[in-house]
Amino acid sequence: MEYLKVNVEDHIAVISINRPPANALSSEVMKGLSFILDDVENNENVRVLVLHGEGRFFSAGADIKEFTSLRDESDYAGLAKAGQEVFERMEQFPKPIIASIHGAALGGGLELAMGCHIRIVSEDAKLGLPELQLGIIPGFAGTARLPRYIGFARAAEMFWTSDSITGLEAVSLGLANHAFKEENLLNETLKIARKIALKSPITLAATIELLNLSKRESFQDVVDREAELFAKVFSTEDSVEGIQAFLQKRKPHFKGK
């Protein structure tokens, strides 16, 4: 936890990466992130997570010095698998995770951001997977996720040229949701997080499950599961509260029950 800190306010856990100068993702940072996920998953006071980097960058990539200290192929495979597992857990996490990206999200930094459910960027942020420039390839599922967001051909170009894109380009390609001036980025991200945090935690978890199912299952499998969750959600106290609030023309107050 030396390089990560968490602040919880308004049902939002803001996770800050603070590992100068570039917020490189060492195995220690990854373990700390996994620990935080353990801590907040069952914390009823946390409904949304926001991940951002302190200083000049979101994260400029994995810790290359740590890479060069490994000895054989099994060590490298183990490191890649460990990172993939953390990012996959983030993608499957039952609470929305938003990446707030400024400066640069490169290599492992972009792979971290792609493990989040939503990406909000500064207009001039740099996003890319430049590993081929170093004679290596992405190892934290970047080759699986980037084409899913921006398409095969554009992802191939980014891999092979090692060129990065700006925050504005990321929005136009569907990799990011919104772009803001850097000085407004975190505040604008928190506005979106607060809007999400007003929803029932039960419905947030249900939609995350269905969105992830839609990536790998057939249309029929997804709608079948949707019907099951639709029925379960209707039996909750939050469903009663939401419908009553609508009929009474007031804001609902969800308890996650």
Active site residues: 111, 131
**Residue from 112, 76, 94 nearest 4 by CA:** 112
237 vs 108: CA distance, rounded Å: 41
- As a whole number of angstroms, the longest Cα–Cα distance in the chain is 65
23 vs 59: CA distance, rounded Å: 5
**Residue from 26, 25, 5, 2 nearest 14 by CA:** 5
**Residue from 176, 192, 203, 174 nearest 14 by CA:** 192
13 vs 115: CA distance, rounded Å: 17
**Residue from 159, 147, 127 nearest 61 by CA:** 127
Instruction: Tell me the backbone φ, ψ of residue 153, rounded to 5 degrees.
Output: -65, -45
Q: Which residues contact 65 (CB under 8 A, 6 or more apart)?
A: none
220 vs 236: CA distance, rounded Å: 25
Looking at this protein, which amino acid is placed at residue 7?
Answer: N
